Amino acid sequence: MAKPLSIFHRSLSSNIEPEASEMAMNTVMCLLTDAEGTPLGSAMYIPHNAGHLQLINLVNTFLNNEEKLSYSFYVSDEELLVSVGTYMERNSVSVENVLKIVYRQQAVFRIRPVYRCSQTISDVHEGEILCVSFSPDGKQLASGSGDKTVRLWDLNTETPMFTCKGHKEHVLAVAWSPDAKCLVSGDRDGKVCCWDPSKGELQGNALSGHKKWICGIAWEPAHLSYPSRRFVTCGKDGDARIWDFTLKRTLIVLSGHTRAVTCVKWGGDGTIYTGYIHFYNNLKCFLLVFYLVNMLLCSSQDSTIRMWEITQQGQGILKHILKATFFCLLGLYFKITFLKLLASSGPCRLGELPFIEYRICSSDRSL
């Protein structure tokens, strides 16, 4: 009985009968080898139209694999993506030659689809949910709402734990400390509230500093300072402020831009990334700010890039202002000897893409 791939005649004879001659016209002689060049048996005839799946079956059969494994195939270091006959026709390979095919086992992985919603928490907030944040330990979820409250949720039971009251305006941003022991939130009035998430209690009075609403909050990473007690906020007033959670006061204020700074991240190398978000086809693109040891690069919607020097006393000194002719810059990054920019007008010649992030929001007051 024939093999699944109809493997025929491992050797050729000078006296080919008519049936064998007709068979040879519809088959290709191939030699399968592994990446080290070890042949998988001797040369063999396989069907002219044998493709990727047939070759996988062939290799699994010869290796006696109990579980079917996946392989990729290469001819002259080029991946074989068509049938062997099609490859030979496209590359003008003579049927009289033995086609050497190298097989390589592919990594085994599976992607599980998200096919259901585990829980919907609704009708708890009295206003729209404007921001959410998972705690780093995965035990709690914080949500900020237009009802001027921050709610803490138990993710194990998927039930509310505390309703944190202290804001007088819509809560626009929430962020957990890396050790999940502290929580801060910012509102539309420019106030920052510090919370004890284990009790749901406000620690001290709301912090003032921003002249307009808070747009983003980020904590200093744990590997830079543990326990982390510093966090940075950005606001509609164009400022970025670094705060001390324990002292409840501002440490550094970086200002000068004429437009809003609506996104902020604290990088793992001590870099603070901030920028302006604008919507384009339901995507938001924002600018980047880089805090490199003692130098800060800040770009904004006002079409300028400001370079700051951070002193040992923690003061920010404006060193340079780079003006662009574009309406709005989409991104920047610092690279050893030069600065690359992307602009919203004109072609992108640097081969880079602006940082794109999806915004998840809800107007039905549910998570």
Dihedral pair phi/psi, residue 132, rounded to 5°: -140, 155
User: In DSSP terms, which residues pair with 160 in a beta bridge?
Assistant: 153
The span from the first CA to the last CA of the chain, in angstroms, equals 60
Rounded Cα distance between 177 and 219, Å, is 6
Q: Where exactly are the structural domains of the chain?
A: 18-105, 129-357
Q: Are the beta carbons of 129 and 366 closer than 8 angstroms?
A: yes
79-97 residue pLDDT tens:
888 888 888 888 888 878 8
* pLDDT tens-digit series, residues 216-268: 898 888 888 888 889 999 888 888 889 999 999 999 887 766 678 877 777 77
User: Is the pLDDT score of 146 beyond 50?
Assistant: yes
Q: Which two tokens stand for residue 257?
A: 């831009």
User: What distance in Å separates the CA atoms of residue 62 and residue 194, rounded to the nearest whole number?
Assistant: 66
- The yes-or-no verdict on residue 322 having pLDDT over 90 is no
- Rounded percentage of the chain residues whose pLDDT exceeds 70: 62
| Residue 140 pLDDT level (bands cut at 50, 70, 90) | very high
Contact of 318 with 308, CB cutoff 8 Å: yes
Model pLDDT, residue 224: 83
Highest-confidence range of 144-158, 173-187, 307-321, 336-350, by mean pLDDT?
173-187
Three-state SS for 8-66 is ECCCCCCCCCHHHHHHHHCEEEEEEECCCCCECCCCEEEECCCCHHHHHHHHHHHCCCC
Give the pLDDT score at 24. Answer: 53
Distance CA 272, CA 264 (A): 7
Burial of 345 (0-12, 13-18, 19+ CB in 10 A): exposed
Record the tokens describing residue 9, joined without a space.
């005649």
Is the pLDDT at 330 greater than 60? The verdict is: no
At residue 111, the pLDDT reads 59
Enclosing H/E stretch for 201: strand 201-202
Q: Give the separation between CA 99 and CA 48, rounded to whole angstroms.
A: 12
pLDDT tens-digit map of 164-203: 999 999 999 999 999 999 999 999 999 999 999 999 999 9
pLDDT at 273: 63
CA dist 248 and 187 (Å) reads 16
For residue 89, the Cα-to-chain-centroid distance in whole angstroms is 42
pLDDT for 187: 94
Confidence category of residue 357, pLDDT binned at 50, 70, 90:
very low
Q: State both tokens at 169.
A: 């305006």
Domain 129-357 sits in CATH 3.40.50.150: no
Of 212, 146, 144, 201, the closest CA to residue 175 belongs to: 144
Q: What is the pLDDT of residues 60-78, one digit of tens each?
A: 988 988 888 889 899 988 8
pLDDT in tens, 97-124: 888 999 998 876 665 665 566 677 666 7
**Bond before 227 cis per omega within 30 degrees:** yes
Structure tokens at 166: 């202290």
What's the pLDDT at 5?
44
CATH of domain 18-105: 3.10.20.90
**Distance between CA atoms of 238 and 192, rounded to whole angstroms?**
16
In the predicted model, what is the mean pLDDT of the chain?
73
